[in-house]
Structure 1
């Protein structure tokens, strides 16, 4: 025997019927806090700040990376045939 029951209710009505807690105020508070943190961290997205963070030694750091990269190739990166 197969029985099908269709219940037409809103999520709020289902939550109350099942005795689940109302977490909407908590969710709103968490979302507000996340929004505040994201807005505060936008200042770190300034291109000048990002460059200072990512490349503290500037061009000198880039030159060191290039030297290391080219040293990994036989012949120092030059094409010798």
Structure 2
């Protein structure tokens, strides 16, 4: 035997029926604080500094991958990369 109950209510109604607190005001205050903090941090930094902060690890990783790739390609031709430079 199966019993199916379909309740049509809004999330706010369900929250109050179950006795859960309404966190919307707290969430709004926290989001405004986060937005204010991020905005002040962004205004304090220059675009060049932002890129240096956000991208150095990614760019260094990309350079390492490129170097390894070219080293492998030089090795795949049968001539070591060091001997190619000497010629």
Structure 2 length as normaliser, TM-score? 0.56
How many Å separate the matches in 2 of 1:2 and 1:20? 28
2:14 pairs with 1:14: yes
1:22-41 aligned at under 5 Å gives the runs 22-41=22-41
Gaps of at least 5 residues in structure 2 are 54-70, 72-80
CA RMSD of aligned residues (A): 2.7
* Residue equivalent to 2:86: 80
Report deviation, 1:47: 2.6
Report deviation, 1:4: 0.6
Report deviation, 1:42: 1.1
Cα 1:10/1:44, change in 2 over 3 Å: same
How many Å separate the matches in 1 of 2:24 and 2:4? 31
Moved over 3 A (4+): none
* Residue equivalent to 2:56: none
2:47 pairs with 1:47: yes
Gaps of at least 5 residues in structure 1 are 55-72
Number of residue-to-residue matches in the alignment? 60
